[in-house]
Amino acid sequence: MALSSILSKLQSLDSDSHGLHYSYLALGASLIFTLYSLRLVVFRLYFHPLARFPGPKILAATTWFETYVDLFHHDFPQRLSKIHDKYGPIVRVAPNEIHVNDADFFQTVFVAAAKHRTDIIPPRGLGQDDSIGSTRTHDMHQLRRKPLDKFMGLQNIVRLQGMIHEEIRTLDQKISALKNSGKPVRLDCVFTSFTGDIVGRLACGESPSLLEGKDFTPEWYDMIRGAARIIPLLRHFPQLGEATRMLPNWLVQALTPRSAGFRVLQELGEKRIARVRAEVARETKSDGEEGGSMFHHLLRSDIPDAEKSTERLNAEAVSFLGAGTYPTAATTIFVAYYILADPKIEERLREDLKDVMANFDEEVPNFTKLEQIEYLSACIKEGLRLLRLFRRKSRISTDLDLQYGNFTIPKGTPVSLSPYTMHMDPEVFPEPEKFKPDRWLGGNLDPRMKRNLNPFLGGSRNCIGMHVAWAQMYLMLGTLFRPNKNYRLKLGDCDESDVYPVVDNEFGVAKYDSRGLNAFVV
């Protein structure tokens, strides 16, 4: 009995010692982490190569403050503008990043390949890690982009615009068929389906026929908006996006519904790439080259075989389907709202479109002719200015230091500028928050406006799809607001708050509970 009691006490002591052991381990780990964090903060604030650059200490010390703002307030670009008001045109916006608020410095940072090489910090977690837009190094970016520069160039887009004309006919017929139906039309869904069809045809040679879907396939719009909404989270926690790629889509939908949109894009891209790859594999010299899409072109090119891998081309497909669909559609949505909301703008536009669209029923005009309509161009530029990229964009000069005033920025440092601040500069654009296309017309044109307007960025990494974006915007707006047609659009149950960008999802988007752009066909 006594022995049993002694053994019981020993077991109790042993159990207690194990508990103390784990407690000490946890305490020790916490202490090590705290000391490491303090050491890191001290280094960043006082010994880092960027320590002498001005800016808030909290941004120099950690990225967690920006993470908090991005996830809960969505207004870091606005806060950054106020930081510049306090600290001047150059600030340290992150432990390893410099931000410059000076449009004259844009050409120094976003340079052509002939001047010097530029790397980027690529986005992760979006399923497009190996795409052209997400390629980290300059040399690899040039290798991947070169086969597509000519294909996506202005001359080739002009040659290929017949496919845009076909979609324009479908758009016009579908809208006309709703005349006097009393049924509201979600123009945001219309424009997003239109751009989705064009990107599908351009990239893979196959239209998803989104315009033909019921109510213009609102599921596509909802999916694209949902995918964009998850961007702030994936920006700071890319591991979440990478983890979801290993899970079945139904489980992703259940666990994180907003990230499911990226999975749908991935699966859609995979299917299209597999089909194109099979078509190219079956080709013979006697057959000729039938498919003329971007991926047909890539698979026939002489780039290394590793660059034609299924994984890499799938990443390219996600990038093109996402980036090629919503930004162009969003700008068209935004511009269309202001045209419909202001009778003076609409009447001026209708009058200016009268001649160039006179023979629309027989032939859709070349978009380069619509580019010559000064007022239409002014409306689109004003839309691009206001529906701006919210997120700052950076480049890394790998070959040489950059000089800004008295500050030498070491090579290898990410240096960013914000289209947001350049597009909203009140000295260049008086009343910058207002949609005023007249500011882009002859006598009112401030030469600094052209310098500040950078919706497609610049240099060797500018937007490769900008020409097809311009073509779609000109043709969609020119078609819907031409005077010689049997219908007109009338604004429905929506207002400016349903389209005005207030949330940073990389590009600006309207409030999350937006009713969309509703219109009636009369």
Along the chain (522 residues), what's the average pLDDT of each consecutive run of 10 residues? 56 58 81 92 96 97 95 90 96 98 96 91 79 93 93 92 95 96 95 93 87 91 83 85 69 56 60 84 66 86 90 85 89 98 97 96 94 97 89 94 97 95 94 96 88 93 94 98 95 96 85 94 96
**212, two tokens:** 């033909």
Q: DSSP letter at 404?
A: E
CATH of the domain at 245: 1.10.630.10
Q: How far apart (Å, rounded) are the C-alpha atoms in residues 276 and 300?
A: 11
Within a domain: residue 93?
no
Task: Please tell me the distance from the alpha carbon of residue 100 to that of residue 98, in angstroms, as a whole number.
Answer: 7
**Residue 331 placed within a domain:** yes
- Residue 402 forms part of a structural domain: no
Q: Tell me the residue type at 166.
A: E
pLDDT at 18: 59
User: Is 189 among the annotated ligand-binding positions?
Assistant: no
The whole model's pTM is what? 0.90
- pLDDT value of position 345: 98
> Is the Cβ–Cβ distance between 139 and 148 less than 8 Å?
no
Q: State the residue range of the domain holding 480.
A: 132-388+424-521
187-204 vs 310-323: helix crossing angle, rounded to 10: 150
DSSP string, 103-166: GGGHHHHS--TTT--EE-----SSS-TTSGGG--SHHHHHHHHHHHHTTTSHHHHHHHTHHHHH
In a domain, 466, yes or no: yes
- Residue 110, pLDDT score: 96
- Which two three-digit tokens encode residue 455? 């919706």
Q: Is residue 272 part of a domain?
A: yes
Per the domain annotation, does 198 fall within a domain? yes
pLDDT at residue number 267? 64
Residues near 397 by beta carbon (within 8 Å), at least 6 away in sequence: 109, 116, 117, 118, 409, 411, 412, 413, 415
The pLDDT value recorded for residue 319 is 85
Number of domains into which the chain is organized: 1
Give the number of other Cβ atoms within 10 Å of residue 492's Cβ. 17
What pLDDT shows up at residue 273? Answer: 83
Residue 221 forms part of a structural domain? yes
> Residue 10: what pLDDT?
47
